[in-house]
Amino acid sequence: MTTYYYTASSLDGFIATADHSLDWLIKQDFDENGPMAYPEFVRGVGALAMGSSTYEWVMRNENGVWGYKQPTWVFTHRALQTPDGAAVHLTHGDVRDVHASMTAAADGKDLWIIGGGDLAGQFADAGLLDEVWVQYAPVTLGSGAPLLPRDLDLELIDLARNRAFLCGRYRVLRAE
Ligand SMILES: NC(=O)c1ccc[n+]([C@@H]2O[C@H](COP(=O)([O-])OP(=O)(O)OC[C@H]3O[C@@H](n4cnc5c(N)ncnc54)[C@H](OP(=O)(O)O)[C@@H]3O)[C@@H](O)[C@H]2O)c1
């Protein structure tokens, strides 16, 4: 079981603009059947975690229709509305406890921290983040939501080009 942070980023390390737009990303050319693409990645994933900005973006952009099949933990201090019938758990619990619940729910499959960057960092702080996959779009944003605002060492273990994107797969190195 591996805990991933799989995301797309601008070249200058932002995963959304300051006003949470992903227009710069959605317009890019990407082969869904190409290397390091989402459909193959998500097949191995059994549980998800995201912060509330990411959750609210998903809800806005999918018109309230919840597209994820996997049980999902949404980190928030607020009483957000959740989609009917979906396995969406709101939490402000310790990431270690949430990780244990995700692991149990995932039934041997992998875990995906969708974002944002600080939430992925919270899992890394607890020694619970194994890999970071980044699809770098050919754009700079200058400011926005940060990719992974931590001081971490990572090892590049795979790379690929997927049309417009430079894709890197990194292992998080932990202090011995
Ligand atoms: N480029 C991509 O592929 C990609 C991937 C993922 C996300 N995104 C986008 O990137 C942006 C990320 O936004 P963001 O940086 O604000 O991050 P976020 O993690 O989506 O949301 C941050 C919020 O989550 C809540 N939260 C975080 N940690 C918590 C904890 N331990 N306990 C309780 N609540 C916690 C807090 O909000 P409350 O006020 O609710 O407590 C916090 O302000 C979004 O626009 C998203 O759509 C892009």
Query: Hunting for tokens 């019938």 — which residue is that?
Result: 85
User: Using one digit for the tens of pLDDT, what is the confidence trace for 134-151?
Assistant: 999 999 999 999 999 999
User: Using one digit for the tens of pLDDT, what is the confidence trace for 97-130?
Assistant: 999 999 999 999 999 999 999 999 999 999 999 9
CB count within 10 Å of CB 73 equals 24
Average pLDDT score over the chain: 96
Q: What percent of the chain has pLDDT over 90?
A: 96
Provide the domain count of the chain: 1
Q: DSSP letters along the chain, please?
A: --EEEEEEEETTSEEE-TT---HHHHTS---TTSTT-HHHHHHTEEEEEEEHHHHHHHHHHTTT-----S-EEEE-SS-----TT--EEEE-S-HHHHHHHHHHHHTTSEEEEEE-HHHHHHHHHTT---EEEEEEES---SSSEES--S--EEEEEEEEEETTEEEEEEEEE---
Distance between Cα 50 and ligand 1 center (Å): 6
Omega cis (within 30) before 116: yes
pLDDT score, position 11: 98
Alpha-carbon span 119 to 150, nearest angstrom: 11
Whether residue 175 is predicted with pLDDT greater than 80 in this model: the reply is: no
Average pLDDT over residues 6-31: 98
Position 56: which residue type?
E
Distance between Cα 53 and ligand 1 center (Å): 4
Q: Is 25 in the pocket of ligand 1 (CB under 6 A)?
A: yes
9 bridge partner residues: 136
CATH number of the domain bearing residue 49 = 3.40.430.10
Q: Quick one: which atom of ligand 1 is closest to the CA of 93?
A: 32
Whether residue 158 is predicted with pLDDT greater than 70 in this model: the reply is: yes
Please report which confidence band the pLDDT of residue 176 belongs to, taking 50, 70 and 90 as the band edges. low
Distance between Cα 5 and ligand 1 center (Å): 13
Q: Quick one: which atom of ligand 1 is closest to the CA of 56?
A: 47
Distance between Cα 163 and ligand 1 center (Å): 28
164 is in which domain, residue-wise? 3-173
Whether residue 64 is predicted with pLDDT greater than 80 in this model: the reply is: no
pLDDT score, position 29: 97
Q: Quick one: which atom of ligand 1 is closest to the CA of 52?
A: 24
Q: Is 115 in the pocket of ligand 1 (CB under 6 A)?
A: yes
Average pLDDT over residues 53-59: 96
pLDDT score, position 63: 80
Q: Is 20 in the pocket of ligand 1 (CB under 6 A)?
A: yes
Q: Quick one: which atom of ligand 1 is closest to the CA of 115?
A: 6
Who's near 75: CB < 8 A, 6+ residues apart? 49, 50, 51, 52, 91, 92, 98, 119
